[in-house]
Amino acid sequence: MGGHGKVRVAVIGAGYWGPNLIRNFSQLKDVEVSLVCDVDRSRLDHIRDLYPHVSVSDNYQEATRGTDVDAICVATPVRWHYEMAKDALLHDKHVMVEKPLTSDVGQAEELVQLAESRGRVLLVDHTFEYTPAVNKIREMIVNGDLGEIYYVSMSRLNLGLFQKDINVIWDLAPHDISILNFTLGHSPEAVSANGNANILPDIEDVAMLTLYYPGNLIAYIQVSWLDPRKTRQATFVGNRKMLVYDDVEPLEKLKVYDKGVEGPKHYDTFGEFQLSYRYGDIYTPFLDSHEPLTMGCKHFLDCILRDALPKSGGPEGLSVVRVLEGAQRSLKKGGAKEAIEYKRGDQ
């Protein structure tokens, strides 16, 4: 620990997401952002201008192996996640890593086992699990407000940002897979995926995933880097009520529809078959207002100080990577349904 018992945090990666982590950790009273690492010196110069008290380096091992660092945050492209997180855990650092945990199930398994054996916190930044809206959805499902969930439909669309080392599934779908696993309380048993590479060879920029959950529940995820609109929507359809989640909506992110349809339990002829449609009220649940990343950073800190397990920890991140790998296999097989195998200790 640093001065006054503060947790000393180093951030690796000062590009797109890293500055958000630096800002949020700097606002927490029990944290000292001691070091920022990046290979781009211009980014480091910018960080130094904003935070003169923070040291900077172009060598990430100063963070993973430094004796004046207690925890690191990996905010780099996914190809670096495994190497950096492993080096940090081997040197007894707590680790927060951007999604997805890794690009390989075997590597993710190794990181989970390493964190457990070293007694270190491994948290995957599945940011949406810390949003008031997603937590409200989970609460409503657990309480039975929506009834039995028939299906879920999700869309995450925008123009870009194209990645060089991963396709749109690995870039965008981790958000929705983690939301589904968190709200439904289960991981899918199988997955299928189809997609096209329209701009860059062999890097799919549009894709559709189907996730098969226990109890005949199906979830659909559409992801795209080639859409004129920024869309972040999910529809949960239950036999009691239906819910629409729109993360782009600034005020009314959740709308609950008291709508449904029921058929006769027993009928002998087509003439007896009649559906009953229900059209009730639409309401918007009250949601607290706070930045999800702030809550995620605070949760990481609390887990370190209290020696607690994070809610988006290594096992949860590993489960998401298993689904992503299954989707990638399905993609290569033209959309074949791929079973997902879990091991003891997975979510």
User: What is the secondary structure of 119-159 as a DSSP string?
Assistant: T--EEEE-GGGGSHHHHHHHHHHHTTSS-SEEEEEEEEEEE
Confidence class for position 261, pLDDT limits 50, 70, 90: confident
Q: How many domains does the chain have?
A: 2
pLDDT in tens, 174-197: 999 999 999 999 999 999 999 999
Pair 248, 198 in one domain? yes
Query: Any idea what the CATH number is for the domain that residue 297 is in?
Result: 3.40.50.720
More confident residue, 119 or 1: 119
Confidence class for position 285, pLDDT limits 50, 70, 90: very high
Report yes or no on 219 lying in a domain: yes
What is the per-residue pLDDT for 275?
Answer: 82
Does the pLDDT value for residue 3 go beyond 60?
no
Pair 46, 194 in one domain? no
Pair 242, 224 in one domain? yes
Pair 31, 63 in one domain? yes
Report yes or no on 347 lying in a domain: no
Residue 37: Cβ-neighbour burial (10 angstroms; 0-12, 13-18, 19+)? buried
Pair 236, 88 in one domain? no
Does the pLDDT value for residue 264 go beyond 60?
yes
Pair 10, 150 in one domain? no
